[in-house]
Chain A
Amino acid sequence: MLSVKNLIDTTSLTADDITQILDLGRTFAEVNNRDVKKVPALRGRTIVNLFLEPSTRTRSSFELAEKRLSADALNMGGSTSSVVKGESLADTIQTISAMNVDMFICRAQFAGTPELITQNTDAKVINAGDGKHQHPTQAMLDLFTIREHFGHLDGLKVAIVGDLLHSRVCGSLAAALKTMGAEVVFVGPPTFQVIDPAYYGVEQTANLDEVIEECDVVYMLRVQLERMGGAAIPSRREYNRLYGLDETRLKRMKENSIVCHPGPMNRGMEIMPEVADSAKARILDQVNAGVATRMAAMYLLLGGESDGLA
Chain B
Amino acid sequence: MVLLKQGHLIDPQVNLDGIFDIAIVGEKIAKVAPHIETDDAVFATGAAGGSAGATSATAASADEGFSDVEVIDCGGKLIFPGLVDMHVHFREPGFEYKEDIETGSRAAAHGGYTDVATMPNTDPVTDTGSGIKFQIDRAQEVGLVNVRPIGALTHNEEGEALAEIGDMTLVGAAGFSDDGHGVQSSGMMRTCMEYVSQFDRPVIAHCEDESLSGKGVINEGRASTRLGMFGWPALAEELEVWRDIELCRITGCPLHIAHISTKRSLELVKAAKADGLPVTCEVTPQHLFLNEEDITHTYNTNLKINPPLRTLNDMTALLEGVKDGSIDAIVSDHAPHAEHEKDCEFEIAYFGTIGLETTLPLVMNNLVGEGLIDYNRLVELLAVNPRKILRLEPVSLSEGSAASLTIVDEKKEVDVVPGYFQSKSKNSAFLGQKLTGAATDVFVDGKQTLKESVVVG
Report A's interface with B, CB cutoff 8 A.
Answer: 8-9, 12, 88-90, 108, 110-113, 115-116, 119, 130-134, 168, 171, 194-200
The answer to whether A195 and B231 have CB atoms under 8 Å apart is yes
Interface residues of B in 214-235 (CB under 8 A from A): 220-222, 224-231
Nearest chain A residue, comparing its CB with the CB of B296: A115
Report B's interface with A, CB cutoff 8 A.
Answer: 220-222, 224-231, 297-299, 340, 343-348
- Docked pose: A275 CA to B224 CA in angstroms: 34
The answer to whether A112 and B346 have CB atoms under 8 Å apart is yes
Nearest chain A residue, comparing its CB with the CB of B228: A133
Task: Identify 19 residue pairs between A and B in the complex whose beta-carbon atoms are under 8 Å apart, listed by A's number.
Answer: A9-B297, A12-B297, A90-B344, A110-B345, A110-B347, A110-B348, A111-B227, A111-B299, A112-B299, A112-B345, A115-B298, A116-B299, A131-B228, A131-B347, A133-B228, A171-B225, A195-B225, A197-B225, A199-B222
- Are A88 and B227 CB-contacts (below 8 A) given A9-B297, A199-B222? no
The answer to whether A132 and B297 have CB atoms under 8 Å apart is no
- Within the complex, what minimum Cβ distance (angstroms) separates A158 from chain B? 18
The answer to whether B229 and A133 have CB atoms under 8 Å apart is yes
Nearest chain A residue, comparing its CB with the CB of B225: A196
- Within the complex, what minimum Cβ distance (angstroms) separates B289 from chain A? 23
The number of A-B residue pairs with CB atoms under 8 Å apart is 67
The answer to whether A134 and B228 have CB atoms under 8 Å apart is yes
Contact residues in A for B227 (Cβ distance below 8 Å): 111-112, 133
Contact of B346 among A12, A88, A111 (CB under 8 A): A111
- Docked pose: A292 CA to B229 CA in angstroms: 30
- Are A195 and B220 CB-contacts (below 8 A) given A111-B228, A111-B229, A133-B227? yes
- Docked pose: A56 CA to B60 CA in angstroms: 91
- Within the complex, what minimum Cβ distance (angstroms) separates B313 from chain A? 14
Contact residues in A for B230 (Cβ distance below 8 Å): 132
Contact residues in A for B224 (Cβ distance below 8 Å): 195-196
Nearest chain B residue, comparing its CB with the CB of A200: B225
Nearest chain A residue, comparing its CB with the CB of B219: A195
User: Which of A12, A116, A171 is the most central at the interface, judged by chain B CB atoms within 10 Å of its CB?
Assistant: A116
Contact of A115 among B225, B231, B297, B347 (CB under 8 A): B297
Contact residues in B for A171 (Cβ distance below 8 Å): 225, 228
Contact residues in B for A196 (Cβ distance below 8 Å): 221-222, 224-226
Contact residues in A for B226 (Cβ distance below 8 Å): 196, 199
- Are A199 and B346 CB-contacts (below 8 A) given A8-B297, A112-B299, A115-B299? no
The answer to whether B344 and A88 have CB atoms under 8 Å apart is yes
- Docked pose: A110 CA to B348 CA in angstroms: 8
Contact residues in B for A134 (Cβ distance below 8 Å): 228
The answer to whether A90 and B343 have CB atoms under 8 Å apart is yes
Contact residues in A for B346 (Cβ distance below 8 Å): 110-112
- Within the complex, what minimum Cβ distance (angstroms) separates B135 from chain A? 32
Nearest chain A residue, comparing its CB with the CB of B345: A110
Contact residues in B for A197 (Cβ distance below 8 Å): 225
The answer to whether B222 and A132 have CB atoms under 8 Å apart is no
- Docked pose: A195 CA to B222 CA in angstroms: 7
